Structure 1
Amino acid sequence: MSDTEAEIETIENLPLDEWHRAHGARMVPFAGYSMPIQYEGILAEHTWTRENAGLFDVSHMGQLSVSGEGVAEALEALMPGDFSALKTGRMRYSMLLDEDGGILDDLMVTNAGDHYALVVNGAVKWDDIGHLREHLPDEITLTHHDEQALLALQGPKAADALGRLVPLTNDLSFMQGTFAMWGDVPLYITRSGYTGEDGFEISVPADKVAMLADALVAMDEVKPIGLGARDSLRLEAGLPLYGHDITEQTDPVSADLTFAISKKRREQGGFPAAGKILETLAKGPSSKRVGMTIEGRMAAREGAPIFAGDARIGTVTSGGFAPTVGGPIAMGYVEAGHALSGTKLQIEVRGKMLDATVTDMPFVPHRYHRKKKA
């Protein structure tokens, strides 16, 4: 075995590895880590999160901080978000773009006061760190917080559960964050997540994460939930998964993520491939990410070809059985002329042609906690 092969096969353990195994998790390799795919079953865990509160370990993700004079402008040179207008404690979804407008990663950016906090996908975090170090000005400091773990508490009862431990979290609205103390443990908590449900992501020192996880699952409404249910929940929520629904080969317009390109950036540009992306935005993309509901019970998985009549017009990028919907759903790219909601298509699965219909996303309505406007 070569050094390269050995490096590729190296699987790291999360800070909660022993905790997961003690709670009956089935562990699988994912994004370079051994991670829990399920505890008691994906369907049960999916339903529990929709009705109660699920605790997810997302410590494989990269937690970065970026600081220094002109940091907002430096980030805006690499992403299409308007970070200089982001108030302290507010966060924004954005994308790291390459010079051709391809998506290197999608990520969360938070104005944490004296720095900007970035949460990037685990599978590409080292690539992201390298890209940022190469392209950020020398006066900007980039720190990788590998001493921190990250938990996500998701579901309609998440606020009640976390509020018992950290009462000030009840004051947060969707896409807002704050520093907090749980006893003598420092936390940074955002009201966010990737399930479509109300919930929180909690950055906690890795040596304290087991204690926090114990305190949360001790509550009647909280159970540990694995990667399997996280995937089915985010698919129902219509949320793309990096490396599958979005890649370096896809641009923000085709990926239907233009909401992340703020009005100011549309007017002023200044981000990678701005001219090309804004021209695509004006003229329309040649293909577009869409959601599809599928008749019957057979699921279409990533890579399945999509047809309109005899013509292949797209490819599935994510798919599976959707417990809340009660049937199979999929996400994929189709030629723009076939992207309208209600369009009838077919997906080929194991030699069979499954009838599918282009469907507005999310498949299940989001239930984020937004403060009512006065």
Structure 2
Amino acid sequence: MSEDTLEDIHPDDMPEEQVLPLDAWHRAMGGRMVDFAGYKMPIQYAGEHLKHGGGIVAEHSWTREHAGLFDVSHMGQLLISGAGAEAALEALLPIDLSTLEVGMQRYSLLLNEDGGVLDDLMVSRWPDAFYLVVNGATKWDDIAHLREHLPDDVTLNHLEDRALLALQGPEAFAALDRHVEGEYPLSALVFMKFGHFTIGGVGMSISRSGYTGEDGFEISLPAADAEKIATLLCVEPEVEPIGLGARDSLRLEAGLPLYGHDLDPATDPVSARLLFGLAKSRRETGGWMGHVTCAKMLAEGSPTKRVGLKVEGKMPAREGAIVFAGDTEIGRVTSGGFSPTLGYPIAMAYVLSDYAQKGTELEIEVRKKRLEAAVTPMPFVPTNYYRGE
């Protein structure tokens, strides 16, 4: 996997560049900074201080085997509160919040009137509010959309004074557990549960979740304390700082879509095979934005589907590559790269539904050559989420 061919990493147009709370820390740690979502963010790290030797493949493998610390503070952290907040959110999200208890979080989708995906996000129920984590590249549009459609007695707070760190990997628990204090042990958290803890006197919200397919945690904490906590965690023998490059290859192996590439307003949840983001209890009853289009596709089937592709050879198929069945163009790659874990290229693509069955043999055009590929189930690499003993 070449660090020069990460074509999924693109800068986003923002009115002015924003600065991560850990910007100086990343540079001091040897971070190679690139434009992403209106920030300078580390794509990888270098330096003799690193345990893994540096580079995207090394960072990827370290996270699979140990624990990687990712700075995801570019993402938007929103708090929705006030009388009627639950009903107001259910009018915008295809989620059943009545089944979401305090301490639980769930994946959901922000849709437009036509069922197009404006963003994918996480929703958690706090004692007196709902906490949303939205994508960094879309957070300003999300905030505008929410403020436009939420009633006046519902309050939206953008938690701009918060940082967000993700500690991911099979040894993430061991490293984090040495430091956290709380009313109950960290081990009480299973996948998609969260709680409030302290580390070194710093209060924070910790959820057992992430974007790598590995066990791990996302930590929301005051931005002013981010450097202290990041340094504390990276001193642990299991932990290394990890950049955007490995985050992208890990999420691809986990079969997780990336907004702006695998999801956009022209994409609907049914075609994207994100039915777990549409609460079963609300697929028929409706009452949420985009329901009419999604209900029709659920009933009649979608013309295209998101699929995983195993690519023969060593040449990766990147975003935008055309997918063929014989001489017929039947789709397009939305994410692709070389899988460090599997040792061969993989990709995600939208193809005509007739060609979405497991094992279907296709071809992808890359640099005027045809690469053989086959539809394969996702995730490409089995996930290791912790769901309890």
TM-score (norm 1): 0.96
Q: Distance in 2 between matches of 1:169 and 1:145?
A: 24
Aligned AA for 1:275?
A: V
Residue 8 of structure 1 and its aligned partner are, at CA, apart by 4.0
What residue number does 1:123 align with?
137
Q: How does 1:134-173 map to 2 (within 5 A)?
A: 134-166=148-180, 168-173=185-190
What residue number does 1:43 align with?
57
Q: Distance in 2 between matches of 1:275 and 1:135?
A: 18
What residue number does 1:28 align with?
34
Residue 275 of structure 1 and its aligned partner are, at CA, apart by 2.1
| 264, 269, 273: which one aligns with 2:281 | 264
Aligned AA for 2:22?
A: L
Q: Distance in 2 between matches of 1:123 and 1:266?
A: 28
Q: Distance in 2 between matches of 1:286 and 1:253?
A: 10
Q: Which moved more, 1:149-158 or 1:63-72?
A: 63-72
Q: Distance in 2 between matches of 1:70 and 1:8?
A: 33
What residue number does 1:174 align with?
191
CA contact (8 A) 2:14 2:37 kept: no
Unaligned runs of 5+ in 2: 1-12, 46-53
Cα distance 1:262–1:9, how it changes in 2: closer, same or farther (>3 A)? closer
4+ runs of 1 displaced by more than 6 Å? none
Is the partner of 1:246 in helix, strand or coil? coil
Is the partner of 1:179 in helix, strand or coil? strand
Identity among equivalent pairs (%):
61
Spell out, residue by residue over 1:214-242, the C-alpha distance to the aligned partner (whole angstroms, 9 max, x if none). 11000000000000000000000000000
What residue number does 1:332 align with?
349
| 94, 119, 139: which one aligns with 1:80 | 94
What residue number does 1:345 align with?
362
2:24 matches 1:18: yes
| 231, 238, 261: which one aligns with 2:248 | 231
CA contact (8 A) 2:284 2:295 kept: no
Residue 183 of structure 1 and its aligned partner are, at CA, apart by 3.0
What residue number does 1:108 align with?
122
CA contact (8 A) 1:42 1:226 kept: yes
| 188, 209, 223: which one aligns with 2:226 | 209
Q: Distance in 1 between matches of 2:201 and 2:68?
A: 25
What residue number does 2:112 align with?
98
Q: Distance in 2 between matches of 1:26 and 1:276?
A: 43
Q: Distance in 1 between matches of 2:374 and 2:15?
A: 40
Q: Distance in 1 between matches of 2:360 and 2:134?
A: 34
Residue 9 of structure 1 and its aligned partner are, at CA, apart by 6.4
Aligned AA for 2:340?
A: P
Aligned AA for 2:167?
A: L
CA contact (8 A) 1:166 1:180 kept: yes
